[in-house]
Amino acid sequence: MSESTAALDPQAALPASLAPAEQAITPEQRVAGAMRGFAREIGALSALRLESCIHCGICADACHFYVATEDPQYTPILKVEPFKQAYKREASAFAPIFRWLGLKKPVTADELAHWQHLLYDSCNLCGRCTLICPMGIDVASLIEQARRAMFEAGLAPKELYEKAEQQRRTGAPEQSVEPYREQLLSIGREYQVDIPLDASQAEVMLTVPRTDIEHYPKAVAALARVMQHLKVPCTFRSDGLIAENYAYYAGARDWQLQISRRLIDQALACKVHTLIVPECGHAYAALRWEAADLYGRPLPFRVRHISEYLAEALEAGRLRLRRADTGATTFHDPCMLVRKGGVLDAPRKLMQAMGIAPREMTHHVGFNYCCGGGGGVLEIQRASTLRYRAMENKLREIDATQAHTFLTACSDCRRTFDDGKQHFNWDKTPQSLLELVAEHLDAPALSDVTRGAAS
């Protein structure tokens, strides 16, 4: 048995991978829960996607897990096979014939156990497969739908389930020794920057990744410093601080709405015009593109990634930046920003304003390789062997640029690369684009301020 296969033997890994409350569910109950979930997710659009696949295999070459292992099980469209089996057998136009002839067997508990690995451990929801599909199938969305059915079956990985459940109840994905609110204020004192907190009314509401509070406090200070520099009335909210949405990773749709509602309600309470998502790709996708759908109506405020917001300020003349002496520099495009959000140019406009012309990787912007940790994979302990294997392609591309400075605009990507640095004894350290901007703020010219106000 190969290392990658052994690391993911579903029979060996499954019991310990589930939250305690889920381990008591019988195999029959798991299958019934999964079928309910699949049935709920099968609509006209998903049926069209499932029927459109011509089995060309092109999506395999887009998936870094397949590229790294050449194992056919990691072909993206095959990861939704239980979803497809359920559709063909229960909901398709020829479902009675499939059942009568036995062409599509019922999904079994053993299959679901194996597909837990394929849907969670070996998929970052990065969207490269969607981008390359010649039939225009949104494969990543099908995998998201299949994750929801797996959650219904009690088959979400323990790490994602527990963080999602904790965040649903408390607003924080993990218990901490000191409340995040107090940690935020401590960061302000340490870095000597004012942390606007719980204002009753503001133009902008700020959020922060748990990752930054725990691992990169300088990025939190940088966000506050940049907003202070722009003189924009803004606030963090104690009851709506954390940007990540772990229910999105786990496939818990109802929980995802509850977590998003916490932020939406706080934004409404202080009457903001804009909610800023910090350097966190999946938080951006969950709030910018998913929240309104779950909420049931358009959000009465804008949602913007911090790099988008700063690029807007740059174009309006409200933000000016000094030249940054970073030497040869490359930039990692976070998947959820470029492929799901279309945030292609904003980071590069900020770099250009600091005199940085990034050395682009072979695969960059819309077709970049994922860091390997997205979609919750970084949190799943048993997935680490496969994740490191897939990550090597990305590290080689970064090395090939021969850049001295390595920037990104996602703290989860940053943490994944830091983890890879330790594992591979890699010689590069990812840096925050936001932190670099905060270090190179320059006063805008008076004419620029006037023009910005007029706009």
Residue type, 32: A
In a domain, 453, yes or no: no
For residues 179 and 237, state if they share a domain: yes
Instruction: Enter the pTM of the model.
Output: 0.88
Q: Which tens digits make up the pLDDT trace of 332-387? A: 999 999 998 889 999 999 999 999 999 999 999 889 999 999 999 999 999 999 99
**How many domains does the chain fold into?**
3
Q: How far apart are CA 12 and CA 4, in angstroms?
A: 13
CA 121/CA 376 separation, integer angstroms: 8
Q: What is the mean pLDDT of residues 249-278?
A: 96
What token pair was written down for 240? 């709506």
Domain boundary among 156, 179, 196: 156
What is the average per-residue pLDDT within 405-426?
A: 96
Query: Domain holding 382: CATH number?
Result: 3.40.50
Q: Do 133 and 190 fall within a single domain?
A: no
Is a pLDDT exceeding 90 seen at residue 277?
A: yes
pLDDT tops 70 at residue 451: no
Asked if residue 375 belongs to a domain, the reply is yes
- Asked if residue 301 and residue 333 are part of one domain, the reply reads no
The single-letter code of the amino acid at 264 is I
Give the rounded percent of residues in the chain with a pLDDT score beyond 70. 91
The number of angstroms, rounded, from the C-alpha of 278 to the middle of its chain's C-alpha atoms is: 12
Burial classification of residue 6, based on how many CB atoms lie within 10 Å of its CB (0-12 exposed, 13-18 middle, 19 or more buried): exposed
Give residue 14's pLDDT band: very low, low, confident or very high (50, 70, 90). very low
pLDDT of residue 414: 97
276/341 same-domain check: no
4 within domain boundaries: no
CATH at 84: 1.10.1060
Q: What is the tens place of the pLDDT at every residue in 201-211?
A: 999 999 999 99
SS (H, E, C) 316-331: CCCCEECCCCCCCEEE
Residue 317 half-sphere exposure toward CB, CA atoms < 13 A: 11
Give me the helix-helix angle, 10-17 and 109-116, nearest 10°: 80
Is residue 455 situated within a structural domain? no
On whether both 297 and 415 belong to a single domain, the answer is no
Q: Tell me the CB-side half-sphere exposure of residue 198, using CA atoms within 13 A.
A: 6
Interatomic CA distance for residues 414 and 217, integer angstroms: 13
Report the distance separating Cα 433 and Cα 416, nearest Å: 16
Residue 106: per-residue pLDDT: 74
List, for residues 101-124, the tens digit of each pLDDT value: 777 677 777 878 888 999 999 999
Most confident of 43-57, 68-82, 190-204: 190-204
- Of 156, 174, 195, the residue at which a domain comes to its end is 156
Which pair of tokens denotes residue 444? 């805008």
The mean pLDDT value for 395-415 works out to 96
Residues 400 and 297 in one domain: no
If asked whether residues 211 and 332 sit together in one domain, one would say no
pLDDT at 153: 82
Structural domain range at position 188: 161-315
Q: Is residue 178 situated within a structural domain?
A: yes
Residue 240 is assigned to a structural domain of this protein: yes
Is the same domain home to 119 and 249?
no
Q: What is the mean pLDDT of residues 384-402?
A: 96
